[in-house]
Amino acid sequence: MRVIAFPGAPNLPIFAALEHGMFRSRGIDVSLDLTPSSVAQAERCAAGEFDIACTAFDNVVAYSAGQGAAGPGVDPDYVVVMGATQLELSLVTAPDVASYEQLQGRSIAVDALATGFAFVLYEMLAQAGIDRATCDLAAVGATPQRWRAVQDGTHAATLTLEPFTSIAQRAGFSVLDRSSRLFTSYQGGVVAVPRPVLAERPGAVRAFIHGYLDGLAWTLDAANREAGGTLLMERMDALAPPVVGAVMDSLLSPGSGLTPGARVLPDGMATVLDLRSRYSGRRLDDASLYLDMSHHEAVLSER
C-alpha cells in the first residue's frame, strides 16, 4: 500500500508500525511519501500514484464538493475510512508581531487559499476584528515550507502543527493564537482512500487499518513515550531533543493530538463543515457523505 501524508508528528503511528514490522505482520508492505502541499497530494492520488492519503478532513470534503484547491480537473475521489487527530493549529508569527493589528499589510503563508486550515486562519482574523483583505495571503504549501518562509522573513505568519510550533517557539517566534481557543473540537487529520482503491482492495485497506491501530496503540502506551520521541527525531530531521518533550505532550493529548482508536469526531467534523460552509458560500452539513467507516468498524470488532 502506497501512502502519502503531510510532514508532522501525527505520522508517529505509521512510523512505529513501519519500524516494528506491524504492517508486515498484517500481510502488507507499506511505503510512505510526504507531500509538499495538499494540491500535490490530491493531484498524485487522482493520478493513481497512491492508495491511501493521510490528509485533512476538509480536503476530503472540498474535493467531494467540487471545491478542491487543485481545481475542477482534479478529483482524488477520497472517502474517509478512519480518523486520526483532533488537530491544534497555532498561528506562529515573526518576533516583531505581537498583535493581530500588526498583521495588517503583512504577508501570511497558507497551504492553499481555499483549504480548511486557511478557513481556520480566516476565522481567527474575523474574531480579532481584522478584515483578511488587509493581509496578503500567499499559497506556500505544507507546514515545513510555510515555517521556513516565516523563519527566513518572507512571510510574517503562518499556521503550524507539531513539531513546527515548538520548533518556532524555541527559535524565538511567537504563537499569537491557537485553534483550540476558537473550537472545542476540530477534525484535523483523517485516513482517506480513493473510492476505486477501496472497491478493488478492501482486504488490503483493512490490513492497513489493523497495522495503523497497532502503531497507534504502541504510540499511546505511556511506556513507549521516550522511544516514540526518539523515533520521531530519527524520522524528522527538523526535530531536536530540546523540543521533543513538548511535541510528545501535544501529540498524546486528546485535545490536540492523536485520537484513541482512530475514531472520527462528530463535533470536530461539524466544525470543519461549518467553516467551509461559511467561507466557501455553499452549505455543507452532512458528514456521512464523506465517510465509509465500515472497514474501520469491522477491524475494531476483530481486535
- What ranges do the domains of the chain cover? 2-87+187-302, 90-182
For residues 205-221, average pLDDT: 98
Give yes or no for residue 71 having a pLDDT over 90. Answer: no
Distances (CA, A) of 124 to 47, 174, 232, 242, 282: 35, 15, 30, 29, 20
Nearest alpha-carbon partner for 9 in 207, 270, 253: 253
User: What CATH fold (topology level) applies to the domain 2-87+187-302?
Assistant: D-Maltodextrin-Binding Protein; domain 2 (3.40.190)
Q: Strands (DSSP E) along the chain, which ranges?
A: 2-5, 31-34, 52-56, 78-83, 90-93, 107-110, 136-139, 157-160, 174-178, 189-194
For residues 146-154, average pLDDT: 96
Looking at residue 195, its pLDDT comes to 97
- pTM for the whole thing? 0.94
User: Across the chain, what does the average pLDDT equal?
Assistant: 96
Same fold, 2-87+187-302 and 90-182: yes
Is domain 90-182 classified as CATH 3.40.190.10?
yes
Provide DSSP, 249-281: HHHH-TTTSBPGGG---HHHHHHHHHHHHHHHS
Name the residue with cell 498524485: 44
Summarize pLDDT for 16-64 with one digit per residue, the tens: 999 999 999 999 999 999 999 999 999 999 999 999 999 999 999 999 9
